[in-house]
Amino acid sequence: MATVTFNDATRVYPGADRPAVDKFSLEIGDGEFMVLVGPSGCGKSTTLRMLAGLEEVNSGTIFIGERDVTTLPPKDRDIAMVFQNYALYPHMSVADNMGFALKMAGVPKAERDQRVAEAAKLLGLEEYLARKPKALSGGQRQRVAMGRAIVRKPQVFLMDEPLSNLDAKLRVSTRTQIAALQARLGVTTVYVTHDQVEAMTMGDRIAVMKDGLLQQVDSPLKLYDEPVNIFVAGFIGSPAMNLMPAKIVEGGAQIGDYTVPISREVLAKADSDTVVVGIRPENFKIDTTGISVDVAVVEELGADGYLYGTISGSGDDAITAQQIVAHISARTAPQRGTTVRLNAIDPATVHVFAEKSGLRIS
């Protein structure tokens, strides 16, 4: 078990005009499940690879526990890349398929057997140990691949988009299994994904990255409830938060013909005459007062539904107008083509961001 610490770790690719990862600092607790998430090119994989020893660290340091591993070769870091090898060897038993790396490392047979048995128990594969792997399902193959990493008892597990080659169904079940397993094993884990839903459902904490810079590190709920800037606000959540530019007026900020009430103290922190108001789809309700929205589509999903529309008078046509998504109850679903007023269910769910810096001011 160990902590992982990045201190201003920076990676600049030769010929690039800005770092792929810029002064990345992060402390990952012992046994923590840390997810690095962000859009393609944000530097999350490069960060993981610096930790794995696959990418040179141009400046800064990386520690695993008390050990400075910044310049250590990958094999000396006591880490395991999970899901690196999915190949199942047809002539070998499931047990041998799980434990062969230990055999290569010269671990005595008794200890090998014990570690494999422990891993198999955790993975629900005990009954399969003596069998050949040919009849295993996709999910069972995944578990054997996890078992290969588990038996090595590394200090840190690294996973780089491990679910990206799975179909949607297996992806959902495997992510739950990985998270549950990690919690039981308590091995510090760094997990990279571009998928914010995956990040939110799996991580103890999530580090959101963009353009090589760390934006925010927090628990899933904190990220969701208090995003530090417009990027995190828009990136976390599905469907995404509605982010609406609004002119500062007396008592709040104006969207269409409606003034969203915002306190004077918050507005005082604005850096221009406009703020960006953020409201999540599920924090809207249809009300007698509120933002006027022309309903374009209503998507009913059982008892719930989503309303898609545009802010009345916000643009010349449906393309240029500001798009709005709201979660509604199917009972109150309006007709398409009508106009409704949407209000926040609670003033506390209204997020306000400075226009220029993009930083949260509410």
Q: Contact at 8 Å (CB) between 277 and 352?
A: yes
* Rounded Cα gap, residues 190 and 33, in angstroms: 6
Residue 245 interacting with another protein (CB under 8 A):
no
Q: Contact at 8 Å (CB) between 171 and 204?
A: no
Instruction: Name the residue among 340, 337, 360 with its Cα closest to residue 350.
Output: 360
| Least CB distance to another protein at residue 357 (A) | 27
Number of C-beta neighbours around residue 298 at 10 A: 18
Residue 92 interacting with another protein (CB under 8 A):
yes
Residues 157-176 that bind another protein (CB under 8 A): 164-169, 171-173
| Least CB distance to another protein at residue 37 (A) | 12
**Which residue stretch of 121-129, 302-310, 316-324, 344-352 sits at the interface with another protein (rule: CB under 8 A)?**
121-129
DSSP H or E segment with residue 330: none
Residue 143 interacting with another protein (CB under 8 A):
yes
CA 267-270-273 angle, 5° bins: 95
Residue 303 interacting with another protein (CB under 8 A):
no
Number of C-beta neighbours around residue 297 at 10 A: 10
What are the C-alpha distances in Å from 222 to residues 24, 216, 292, 338? 21, 10, 30, 36
Residue 353 interacting with another protein (CB under 8 A):
no
Q: Show the tokens assigned to 186.
A: 């308590």
For residue 108, whether the previous peptide bond is cis, meaning omega lies within 30 degrees of 0, is no
**Which residue stretch of 81-89, 258-266, 291-299, 315-323 sits at the interface with another protein (rule: CB under 8 A)?**
81-89
Residue 104 interacting with another protein (CB under 8 A):
yes
| Least CB distance to another protein at residue 15 (A) | 8
Beta bridge partners of 193: 37
Q: Which of 128, 157, 284, 353 binds another protein (CB under 8 A)?
A: 128
Q: Count interface residues toward another protein (CB under 8 A).
A: 61
Which CB sits closer to another protein, 102 or 321?
Answer: 102
Which CB sits closer to another protein, 10 or 140?
Answer: 140
309-316 contacts: CB < 8 A, separation 24 or more?
A: 309/340, 311/244, 311/255, 311/256, 312/256, 312/257, 312/339, 313/256, 313/257, 314/256
| Least CB distance to another protein at residue 295 (A) | 23
| Per-residue interface string for the shown chain with another protein, residues 14-33, x marking contact by CB under 8 A | xx------------------
Residue 224 interacting with another protein (CB under 8 A):
yes
Q: Which of 17, 110, 184, 221 binds another protein (CB under 8 A)?
A: 221
Beta bridge partners of 24: 9
Residues of the shown chain interacting with another protein in the complex, contacts defined by CB under 8 A: 14-15, 52-56, 73-75, 84-92, 96-97, 100-101, 103-104, 123-125, 127-128, 131-132, 134-135, 137, 139-141, 143, 164-169, 171-173, 177, 195-197, 200-201, 219-221, 224, 237-238, 282
